[in-house]
A and B are shown apart, each in its own frame.
Chain A
Amino acid sequence: SQQGEEDPQALSIQEGENATMNCSYKTSINNLQWYRQNSGRGLVHLILIRSNEREKHSGRLRVTLDTSKKSSSLLITASRAADTASYFCATERSGNTPLVFGKGTRLSVIA
């Protein structure tokens, strides 16, 4: 079953702007991960943040995690047209459990 809820469901921005996507989940987690998926293609792993971490950076990506609110955000700075894709958060409850995906945010970056 899906655990995560992404917000917004769709986001359209101009190239160069920042894009922020939010994810909420329901149960305790071991870690939370963000993935990107281009239309009709496979998943690309972006970043993993553990439950004891609050913020993580990778290039133009910044992820925050608030376990008290059971929420995470993904910030993409200085967006590019190539960032156009669907973005999913996925949570892992413990060491050998499957990832549970949120509904995703469809990001469109207009050149």
Chain B
Amino acid sequence: GAVVSQHPSRVICKSGTSVKIECRSLDFQATTMFWYRQFPKQSLMLMATSNEGSKATYEQGVEKDKFLINHASLTLSTLTVTSAHPEDSSFYICSARDLTTKETQYFGPGTRLLVL
């Protein structure tokens, strides 16, 4: 099946630093990728929709200046958490929709962010 990778798988950083998370579709092209956040023992909450070649669409309550999304190619979207704070510690998961089989989304393995 289709594979989506995320890098890094986990990151620990100091408060105030910025962290970039990459989401790649390895064997298919994706015009649309989605970024989710999951706090411990909670469900996945959609943060934003990333569209190749255009600006991301953010969900209500998600600060676009804090969570920068760049979808520069059909196989790569990046999420940058700027000036990270301890409350940004979470599990970040991306998903990508295959251009050819639009019904199916494939999820990455997630990135665990811990901000000290």
A residues in contact (CB < 8 Å) with B: 1-2, 30-31, 35, 40-43, 45, 48, 88, 92, 95-96, 98-104, 106
Contact = CB atoms under 8 A, between A and B. Distances in A.
B88 to A, nearest CB: 18
Interface of B: 32, 34, 36, 41-46, 49, 59-60, 91, 93, 95, 97, 102-105, 107-110, 112
Is chain B's interface secondary structure helix, strand, loop, or mixed overall?
strand
A42 B109 contact: yes
29 contacts: A1-B46, A1-B59, A1-B60, A30-B103, A35-B107, A40-B112, A42-B108, A42-B109, A42-B110, A43-B93, A45-B107, A48-B103, A48-B104, A88-B44, A92-B103, A92-B105, A95-B103, A96-B32, A96-B102, A98-B46, A98-B49, A99-B46, A101-B36, A101-B44, A101-B45, A102-B43, A103-B42, A103-B43, A106-B41
